[in-house]
Amino acid sequence: MDDEIDAVLAPELITLREPPTDKGGCIEYLLDRAVDAGRVTDRDEALEAIRSHEAEMGAGVGKGIGLFHAKTDAVDRPTIAFARSSEGVAVETSDGEPATLLFLLLAPTEATDEHLAILSSLSRALMHAEVRTALHEAESAAAARRTLAEAIG
């Protein structure tokens, strides 16, 4: 596995435990994965950046995908947290479907190119039905992580 992808998708950032079904709770749930993994230096600052970006741009991609992302000085390296939901989380999407595959991408403020590259790779990968299916069917966090790393890498 590529070291760069491996660093962005650290094992402790991936969970198959059910997140809260409300958007705000889900954002905090994903953020807490990053906080607990030692990736966030200021939780409040990161949360404000996520909420601000989400209010401006939304997080709903469609196809059951919720992708919250922000650039913030509260992280020192790009980080992706992932959870999946059996019920789905209501985020504004083009297709009106709840998001069942939930991502949080945080990047340092100055890492514009890297942030966009990761966001673009992740978004492209998730447009493939086989990637979404593999994430839904993953029986472990490690399996979900492998799927993401292969799809993004």
Length of the chain: 153
In which band, very low, low, confident or very high, does the pLDDT at 1 lie, cut at 50, 70 and 90? very low
Strands of the 79-89 sheet, one edge to the other: 60-62, 65-71, 99-107, 79-89
Give the count of beta carbons closer than 10 Å to the beta carbon of residue 49.
Answer: 20
Q: Please tell me the distance from the alpha carbon of residue 113 to that of residue 29, in angstroms, as a whole number.
A: 27
Using the 8-state DSSP alphabet, how is residue 88 labeled?
E
Q: What pLDDT, on a 0 to 100 scale, did the predictor assign at position 6?
A: 67
Q: Of the residues 53, 69, 115, 136, which is catalytic?
A: 69
In which band, very low, low, confident or very high, does the pLDDT at 145 lie, cut at 50, 70 and 90? very high
| pLDDT value at 74 more than 90 | yes
**pLDDT tens readout for residues 75-129:** 988 899 999 999 898 887 777 788 999 999 998 988 767 657 777 888 888 899 9
Mean pLDDT along residues 31-59 = 90
CB within 8 Å of 91: residues ≥ 6 apart: 23, 58, 59, 60, 66, 98, 99
Q: What pLDDT, on a 0 to 100 scale, did the predictor assign at position 102?
A: 94
Higher pLDDT, 41 or 119: 41
| pLDDT value at 47 more than 50 | yes
Q: For the stretch 65-95, what's the b/e string if a residue is b when 16 or more beta carbons lie within 10 angstroms of its beta carbon?
A: bbbbbbbbebbeebbbbbbbbeebbbbebee
Q: Please tell me the distance from the alpha carbon of residue 123 to that of residue 140, in angstroms, as a whole number.
A: 22
Mean pLDDT along residues 3-32 = 88
Mean pLDDT along residues 9-33 = 93
Q: What pLDDT, on a 0 to 100 scale, did the predictor assign at position 143?
A: 95
Q: Please tell me the distance from the alpha carbon of residue 13 to that of residue 38, in angstroms, as a whole number.
A: 10
The CATH architecture assigned to 1-152 reads 3-Layer(aba) Sandwich (3.40)
Extents of the domains making up the chain: 1-152
Mean residue pLDDT of the chain comes to 87
Q: What pLDDT, on a 0 to 100 scale, did the predictor assign at position 9?
A: 82
Q: Please tell me the distance from the alpha carbon of residue 108 to that of residue 110, in angstroms, as a whole number.
A: 6
Active-site annotation holds for 128: no
